[in-house]
């Protein structure tokens, strides 16, 4: 299963860029992973067409890491080919995008700055992959 993360733009904060690069590199050891910065929401929707879409929004379902890992495991077992995690810009996602999502997920009930949300998502995806692989990074 290919795991893709789509963002509107690239991080401007240096420490976020460094963290994104680090976790993208780590993720590629465990999963078929790609990060796609795009210019706007229309491109985000177009490029994620055909994938199972997960929109990040603080009003979404807030899974634990174990619950997210179980969901990823089930997607793989049921033959999902592509999962696209969608991270909005500073204004979040439109109603149209949220309506086009297969699942809306929250990383926290807190409103997170979109660059920090990207970094947190990548860390959690890496944690999920290590958990599924039985690697000791995940400590529960």
Contact of 20 with 35, CB cutoff 8 Å: yes
Strand pairing report for 103-105 and 2-8: unpaired
pLDDT band per the 50, 70, 90 thresholds, residue 91: confident
pLDDT of 140 > 80? The answer is: no
User: Average of pLDDT values for 121-127?
Assistant: 97
The pTM for the full model equals: 0.94
Q: Determine the Cα–Cα distance for residues 57 and 73; give it in Å rounded to an integer.
A: 22
Q: Determine the Cα–Cα distance for residues 75 and 55; give it in Å rounded to an integer.
A: 16
> In this predicted model, what pLDDT tens digit does every residue of 13-30 receive, in sequence order?
999 999 999 999 999 999
> In this predicted model, what pLDDT tens digit does every residue of 98-119 receive, in sequence order?
999 999 999 999 889 999 999 9
- Residue of higher predicted confidence among 27 and 136: 27
Q: Determine the Cα–Cα distance for residues 90 and 113; give it in Å rounded to an integer.
A: 7
> In this predicted model, what pLDDT tens digit does every residue of 49-90 receive, in sequence order?
999 999 999 999 999 999 999 999 999 999 999 999 999 988
**Domains, the chain, ordered by start:** 2-133 (3.40.1280.10)
Q: Nearest Cα to 56, choosing from 20, 128, 21, 6? A: 6
């Amino acid at each position: 299963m290919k795991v893709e993360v789509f963002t509107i733009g690239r991080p401007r904060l240096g420490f976020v860029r460094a963290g994104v690069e680090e976790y993208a590199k780590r993720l590629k050891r465990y999963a078929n992973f790609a990060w796609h910065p795009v210019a706007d929401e229309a491109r985000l929707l177009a490029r994620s067409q055909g994938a199972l879409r997960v929109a990040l929004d603080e009003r979404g379902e807030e899974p634990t890491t174990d619950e997210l890992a179980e969901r990823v495991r089930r997607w793989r077992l049921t033959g999902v080919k592509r999962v696209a995690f969608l991270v909005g810009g500073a204004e979040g996602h439109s109603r149209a995008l949220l309506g086009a999502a297969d699942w809306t997920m929250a990383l926290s009930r807190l409103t997170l700055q979109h660059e920090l949300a990207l970094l947190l998502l990548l860390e959690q995806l890496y944690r999920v992959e290590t958990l599924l692989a039985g690697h000791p990074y995940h400590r529960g």
